[in-house]
Amino acid sequence: MLEAHNVSVQVGQKLLLKDIDFSINPGEFAVVLGPNGAGKSTLLKALCGDISLSQGDVTYHQQRVQDLNALDLSHIRAVLTQQYDCEFPFCVQEIVDMSHYVHQHNCTPDSLREYSQQAMQTLSVEHLAKRCFTQLSGGEKQRVQFARVLCQLLPTLHAHKPCYLMIDEPTASLDLYHQYQVMKLAQQIAKLGAGVVAVVHDLALAASFADKVYLLQQGELVATGSPEEVLSNAQLMSTYGIDAEITLSDMFLPTLGVAKVFGLSAEK
């Protein structure tokens, strides 16, 4: 289990996170939500071990993240940031194979090639293997980068050891189709056995795919639980200042309904 206990992060005089508790098991998909400046990306950096804590601990299966070296960390967690583009003319196969450095000392070259193939097949990019990455569409680039981080985690998953994928705002600047596609890809990786943590802004996307939601406001955790428990009308009014509710349907994924006049009840 990946856990954060009583975590606070302060930079200068500004307290970015205050007394945060967090946990996720392998195979779960957790989404971190909150208004701009709530501390979402800071929490993700804390979970990754990429930022110093002012208080508390982040642990991977009871090992403190600061006690793990970079190589050990790379075996158990992969990170997909918002900036995933590449200006150099690598082919898709080379992009995916970049993850091999993590396991090059404990896997044979043949097994590493097999992991690359499995990752590309899972993300449906094997037909792009010889294509130049810079010439791909935005959606294709996205799937290739997901294949790269999945390839990094596959040796750990095949050894039946826990691992985690961290994703920072994967749907930013994407059209509607690709927003849902990227969340479906993240959910697919969770089903393979990795714990997945994603920072997103879209409440309907969170309700559609997350097993667990963490809602932040001004650096504090204000609610946690299933999407249905967290994304209530009262909580959305308190956190976002809007009169809104998540609508569930047997035929469609959850949608967010917002009142025509903010702060007032919707017309019936």
DSSP helix/strand/coil, 86: coil
Please determine, for residue 263, whether its predicted confidence score (pLDDT) is greater than 60: no
Q: What is the pLDDT of residue 84?
A: 64
- CA dist 60 and 22 (Å) reads 12
Reported residue count of the chain is 268
Q: Backbone phi, then psi, for 251, in 5-degree steps?
A: -100, -20
CB atoms < 10 A from the CB of 176, how many?
9
Burial of 177 (0-12, 13-18, 19+ CB in 10 A): exposed
Please determine, for residue 266, whether its predicted confidence score (pLDDT) is greater than 50: no
Please determine, for residue 55, whether its predicted confidence score (pLDDT) is greater than 80: yes
Once rounded to an integer, what is the mean pLDDT over residues 174-203? Answer: 88
- CA dist 212 and 185 (Å) reads 17
Q: What does the mean pLDDT of the chain come to?
A: 89
Please determine, for residue 54, whether its predicted confidence score (pLDDT) is greater than 80: yes
Q: Backbone phi, then psi, for 252, in 5-degree steps?
A: -130, 160
What pTM value is reported for the model?
0.86
What's the longest Cα–Cα distance across the chain?
64
pLDDT confidence of 162, banded at 50, 70, 90? very high
Please determine, for residue 111, whether its predicted confidence score (pLDDT) is greater than 80: yes
Please determine, for residue 264, whether its predicted confidence score (pLDDT) is greater than 70: no
pLDDT confidence of 268, banded at 50, 70, 90? very low
Domain 2-258 has CATH 3.40.50.300: yes
Please determine, for residue 13, whether its predicted confidence score (pLDDT) is greater than 90: no
Please determine, for residue 253, whether its predicted confidence score (pLDDT) is greater than 70: yes
- Secondary structure element (H or E) that encloses residue 233, with its range: helix 233-240
